[in-house]
Chains A and B, each alone.
Chain A
Amino acid sequence: MKKRVLLVGGRRKARSLALSLLKRGYQVTAVNSDRDDCRKLAELEKLNVICGDGTKPFVLEDAGAEGQDIAIALTPKDADNLVICELCKKRFHIRRTVALVSDPQKTAFFRKMGIDRVVCAISAITGIIEQQAFLEQMENVIPVGEGRVNVLEVAVPVNSPAAGKTLVELDLPREVIVGCVLRDDAVMIPWGDTAIWANDLLVLIVASGKESEAISALVGKGACGL
């Protein structure tokens, strides 16, 4: 059976999320209290749209909350997102709830209240901006574990102090793992005695905050401007 997703609130976020979920074959219902937003959302084919305040139980009931697999609260107000997720969980027994939170201080509290995933847009965006601005050597950064760990790509330049050394010889922090070495067409899962060459592309798993240390060991000191 198709997975069913309920999106509550959010204007552009709801629209682009709905679009991507529908494309992947989910059955999506959007709830929004603004009539104009609803009209905009209704332009999407196959999207069910319910106009109403998603923090009210009867509106969620109209949206078929009882049978949904995932509920995602996207309103700009933290209090509303909290209530939406709690209603979805406690009253409509939706297994997985996701809330957007604007105040980074409330992330832990939302988790404590039983919300399965809490996404703090501000922390996420500042994190991305920091990475983009300061760590040019990172090709691609994927935060996992709520941003506590990052998976990233690093290219080894020709003048790198790491070139020609094996992993054990490198001065990498303990919180860094070289998960994969991409060399030409080859993909290698490295061991301690695997040597790093210039022009290798490394996939690192790094505890958040250790990126610059890892990069200076692989690319060279002072390379990251941090």
Chain B
Amino acid sequence: MKEKIADNTIIVGCGRLGAELAGALSDAGRSVLILDKEEVAFRKLPLSFGGLAVAGDGGDLDVLRQAGIEQADTLIAVTNDDNVNILIAQTARELFHIPHIIARLYDPERECVYRELGIATICPTQLSAREIDKLLSLPREAIA
């Protein structure tokens, strides 16, 4: 049986991560809407991307409403500004009650701000450190 997937996903921020994610999720059959302030950012989207791309400020409540945030199941905040990601994730949780929220944060120190709000966070620094640590623990021949 096929796993039930959340239908509506909103991604805020069309950087490298946002664009790649949008492509992968839309390939996997999810309905994806990606938001970015700059229209040129959408050039990073893969050709296969079958979702919607909307130019607008994800920190603006009206823009989020127009993007259909009230019907979204998942919100992913991956702009290049940690604080904006926090703001968006918190509005998604507190005002729009989105069940799944994921935010990318470069600075893991700010985590305490929303840990208790049930927002999942991804920190590239921590992930990289963990991977490097993993590589270091391998025997030297295996790395090459």
Q: How large is the interface on B (under 10, 10 to 19, 20 to 34, 35 or more residues)?
A: 20 to 34
A183 contacts the other chain (CB 8 A): no
Q: Are B83 and A79 in contact (CB under 8 A)?
A: yes
In-complex Cβ contact of B90 among A57, A58, A105, A113 (8 A): A113
- As a 0/1 sequence over residues 16 to 52 of chain A, the CB contacts with chain B under 8 angstroms (1 = contact) are 0000000000000000000000000000000000000
Complex interface: chain A residues within 8 A of B62 (CB): 105
Q: Are B61 and A91 in contact (CB under 8 A)?
A: no
- Stretch binding the partner chain, chosen from B19-27, B47-55, B104-112, B132-140: B104-112
Q: Are A109 and B95 in contact (CB under 8 A)?
A: yes
Count of A residues near B, CB < 8 Å?
20
Complex interface: chain B residues within 8 A of A78 (CB): 59, 87
Chain B contact residues: helix, strand, loop or mixed = helix
Q: Are B109 and A82 in contact (CB under 8 A)?
A: no
In-complex Cβ contact of B113 among A80, A87, A109, A112 (8 A): A87
Within 8 A of A (CB), among B86-106: 86-87, 90-91, 94-95
Complex interface: chain B residues within 8 A of A56 (CB): 107, 109-110
B81 contacts the other chain (CB 8 A): yes
- As a 0/1 sequence over residues 68 to 86 of chain A, the CB contacts with chain B under 8 angstroms (1 = contact) are 0000000001111011001
A-B pairs with beta carbons under 8 A, tally: 56
- Residue of A with least CB distance to B116: A90
Q: Are B109 and A90 in contact (CB under 8 A)?
A: no
Chain A contact residues: helix, strand, loop or mixed = helix
Give the complex CA separation of A102 and B59 in angstroms.
12
Q: Are A105 and B83 in contact (CB under 8 A)?
A: no
Q: Are A79 and B84 in contact (CB under 8 A)?
A: yes
Given contacts A79-B59, A105-B62, A109-B91, contact A57 B86 (CB under 8 A): no
